[in-house]
Amino acid sequence: MSFNNPLEGIEEKFEMIQILDENGKIVNEDAMPDLSDEDLVELMRRMVYTRVLDQRSIALNRQGRLGFYAPTAGQEASQLGSHFAMEKEDFLLPAYRDVPQLIFHGLPLYQAFLFSRGHFHGNQMPEDMNALSPQIIIGAQITQAAGVALGFKRKGKANIALTYTGDGGASQGDFYEGMNFAGAYQAPAVFVVQNNQFAISVPVEKQSAAKTVAQKAAAVGIPGYLVDGMDVLAVYAVVKQARERAVNGEGPTLIETMTYRYGPHTMAGDDPTRYRTDDMDDEWEKKDPLVRFRKYLEGKGLWSEEKENEVIETAKEEIKAAIKKADQQEKQKVTDLISITYEELPSNLQEQMEEYKEKESK
C-alpha cells in the first residue's frame, strides 16, 4: 500500500509577497500599506542613511577603528521595513547584523560603535529602550523573544517582541523551540528570518530540504509568510499585519524575507567570491532595495538627488561625530567587567576585584 506525499503542494502555498517590482512599479495594489508621504520619505531616509553607515563602518573596520562588523548593504528593506512596523514600546531582539534597527529604535550611534569594539557600554541599552544587545549566538534570540513576548501577554500589554535571524539560524534547535513555545502560549512574537541565501558560505539549499523557511511555521501551528525582502513596502505591510495579529491575541507569526547581502558575512576574513558568482551578484543588484524604492518615490515626486545628497552628508557628519565620541569613551577595565557581571560578587571574585583595583590604581 502507498500513501500520497503530504508535502505535495505545500511549497506552492508560500508564494512570495511583493508590492513593488524591480522598476519601482506597484504590482499588488491590494497589499499597499497605509503610509503617509512623510512615512515613505522617512523610510527612504533610513535606508540611505544605513547604506552610508555600512560603507563608513567597513572603512573604519579596515582602518582598525572598529572591531567585529557584519555588513548590511542589500538588506536595508528587510531590516528597516520590518522595524518601521514596530512601536517604541515593542521589544527588539536583534542578531549581530541588525545594528541599524537598534539605532533607529533608540541606541545612540556611538554606542553601536562601542559594541563593535567589544566595549561593555555598547551593550548597555538606554533605560527608555526596549531591546537586547545584538545576539552573537546563532538562534538564541528566538527563545528569548518567546519569553519576552509571553511576559507582555501576562502583563496585558499591547506590545510585541520582534526578533531576527538568518537562514542559517533557521536550522538551529532554538529556532524551533522558540517558535513552538510562542505558538503554544499564543505569545505576541514576530519571528523574521532574513534569507540572504548563505549561512556564511553554505547555500540555503544545502541547509534544509524545505523549499522555504516560511513553511516551517506549519510545524508549530503558526502562520508563515514569504516576502520579497528587497521590497520595503512588502516587508512593512506583512510585519505590520503580523504585529496587529499579535496584539489582538492571535499569536505569533514567522516571516521569511528573501534578501541578499552584497558584502561578506562579516569583515573577519570572509571572502564571498569563493562561494558566490558574479552572475549571482549581478542578478541581486538589479533588485537593489534603494534603487527600487527611489524610483517609486521619484515617480510620486517625493524624492530627488538633492534630498538624497542631504541625507548622505548628514549621515557622514553624524558618523564622524559618533566615532569621535566612541574614541573618547573611557577604556574598559577588568574591574568594570567583574562589577557588571554580578549583583553580588562571589568571594573568589571579591578577592580578584581587590587585586585588580590595586593594579589599576598604579
Q: Per-residue pLDDT tens for 110-128?
A: 999 999 999 999 999 999 9
Name the phi and psi angles at 305, rounded to 5.
-60, -35
C-alpha cell of residue 340: 557588571
How does strand 91-93 pair with strand 161-166? parallel
Helices (H), 229-273: 232-247
- Around Cβ 107, how many Cβ atoms within 10 Å? 25
CA-CA distance, 64 to 224, in Å (whole number)?
41
Query: What's the order of all strands across the beta sheet hosting 91-93?
Result: 91-93, 161-166, 189-195, 253-258, 224-228
Distance separating the N- and C-terminal Cα atoms of the chain: 82
Beta bridge partners of 199: 202
225 is annotated as an active-site residue? no
Q: Per-residue pLDDT tens for 248-304?
A: 999 999 999 999 999 999 999 899 999 999 999 999 999 999 999 999 999 999 999
117 is annotated as an active-site residue? no
47, 80 Cβ separation under 8 angstroms: yes
Look at residue 269 in the predicted model and tell me its pLDDT.
86
Q: Which helix (H) or strand (E) holds 141?
A: helix 140-155
24, 295 Cβ separation under 8 angstroms: yes
Residue 4 has pLDDT above 80, yes or no: no
CA-CA distance, 227 to 89, in Å (whole number)?
25
Look at residue 339 in the predicted model and tell me its pLDDT.
87
Cα-only R_g, the chain: 21
Look at residue 1 in the predicted model and tell me its pLDDT.
65
- Beta-strand ranges (E) seen in the chain are 91-93, 161-166, 189-195, 198-199, 202-203, 224-228, 253-258
CA-CA distance, 139 to 118, in Å (whole number)?
20
Q: Per-residue pLDDT tens for 208-263?
A: 999 999 999 999 999 999 999 999 999 999 999 999 999 999 999 999 999 999 99
Percent of the chain with pLDDT over 70: 100
Residue 322 has pLDDT above 90, yes or no: yes
65 is annotated as an active-site residue? no
172, 135 Cβ separation under 8 angstroms: no
Half-sphere exposure of residue 101: CA atoms within 13 angstroms, side-chain side: 33
Look at residue 204 in the predicted model and tell me its pLDDT.
94
pTM across the whole model: 0.95
Residue whose grid cell is 520579497: 228
| Residue spans per domain, the chain | 11-24+33-329, 332-362
Stretch 16-36: mean pLDDT: 96
Residue 5 has pLDDT above 90, yes or no: no
C-alpha cell of residue 109: 550611534
Stretch 124-143: mean pLDDT: 96
Catalytic residue among 46, 83, 119, 261: 261
Report the CATH number of the 11-24+33-329 domain: 3.40.50.970
* Three-state DSSP state, 280: helix
Catalytic residue among 83, 265, 276, 294: 265
Stretch 12-20: mean pLDDT: 90
Q: Across all residues in the chain, what is the average pLDDT? A: 95
